[in-house]
Structure 1
Amino acid sequence: MANEEIDYEDLTTMRLDQEALDSLLRSGGECIFNWTTKDGHPVGVVVAFVYHDGKFFTTCAERRKRVPALRARPQSGLVINNSGKTATFKGESVVHAHGDDGFDELKEWFYTKLSRVDQDPEDEYRKSFKKFLDSPHRVIIETDARLVVAFDTAKFHAFTVEAMAAGQGAD
């Protein structure tokens, strides 16, 4: 881009393309799950997630502070970061617990996916982990979330190198 002004403040071209976003979601793994406290402060923890049918599913013990917080204020967010690919989502969460309609079906497919038993049904560790997840005070959090921003740090790095070579930067 010789003699062409590079707008280093415009990061719209740093977005993940749809294929990269789909791959990031499909791979599962860990995310930062965020909610708000009763005094309005945001807080987040790293948790494992499964993305299924356009929704995120996570789990925790029912006694975790996020459970009553989400029941009172379902607004939540998730941030996924893997190999320089980042996506941030916001939405609303529903807490599913033992005794809720459909919980047994939900926990069966979710624990199977989360433990990855579906990928290797004979793996003893995975089978044990699936069984371990099925405790009486465990809940499943379903979050219907929409994309806020998806970012590719490799694109950002190349963009930064180009801007620096052009002699541009902060004022």
Structure 2
Amino acid sequence: MGRLGIDDLEALQGTHLGKADQEELLSSQTECGFVFTGEQGWPSGVVMSFIVADGHFWLTSVEGRAQVSALAEDPRVSIVVSSAGSGLPGRRMLSLRGVATVHRDADTLAWFLGEFTNRLQPADPVAWRRLLDSPNRVVVEVRPVAVAVSHDQLKIPGNGRGMEA
């Protein structure tokens, strides 16, 4: 076995994201891969914007889209968050397993749209909220049940690219 990050990338034990690093990633990033069981049992995924509140992920979609329809059959999902484009140093990744609930009520939608548009479009949340507040809009809540995988390239000697420190 060689030196991790210098000679190989085989043994990645100890390179997971700690709790504080997970929170930093989730507060810096606004997009995730949302993975669900699609047609005929095939894994499917879409890129979606999200917020985190009380430890749950909150996303939005429209009734009839594949990800919403699929949740009626199987609410188990995965969410994959990468540091790409977030401005954080290094490559970081967090993959969570969770159980999704689709909310269709006006109170949840009103709360969500306020939080979501203020976080993701702070320059003009009112205009974006007006676009999102549509008749078929739903809110998807994901309650994480486990961290599937996480990774922090900053914990790898050689920058994880084979460079001597």
Answer yes or no: same fold by TM over 0.5. Answer: yes
Among all aligned residue pairs of Structure 1 and Structure 2, give the percentage whose two residues are the same amino acid: 29
Unaligned runs of 5+ residues in structure 2 are 85-90
Q: 1:91 aligns with which of 98, 117, 120?
A: 98
Runs of 4+ in 1 over 4 A off after TM superposition: 117-120, 159-162
Structure 1 counterpart of 2:156, one-letter code? F
Tell me, which stretches of 5 or more residues in structure 1 are unaligned?
98-102, 166-171
The corresponding residue for 1:42 is: 43
Q: In the alignment, what sits opposite 1:128?
A: 127
**Given the two structures, how large is their TM-score scaled by the length of structure 2?**
0.80
Q: Answer whether contact 2:77 2:97 (CA < 8 A) is retained.
A: yes
How far residue 117 of structure 1 moved from its aligned partner, in angstroms, is: 6.3
Aligned-pair Cα RMSD in Å: 2.5
Distance verdict in 2 for CA 1:126–1:132, change over 3 Å: same
Alignment match, 1:153:
153
Give the structure-1-normalised TM-score.
0.78
Instruction: Please identify the structure whose Cα radius of gyration is greater.
Output: 1
Once the two structures are superposed, residues 35-83 of structure 1 have per-residue CA deviations (whole angstroms, 9 ceiling, x without a partner) of 0124221010100001111111111111201112111111111000014
Aligned residues: 153
Asked if the contact 1:117–1:130 (Cα under 8 Å) also holds between the matched residues in 2, the reply is no
Verify: 1:14 aligned to 2:15, yes or no.
yes
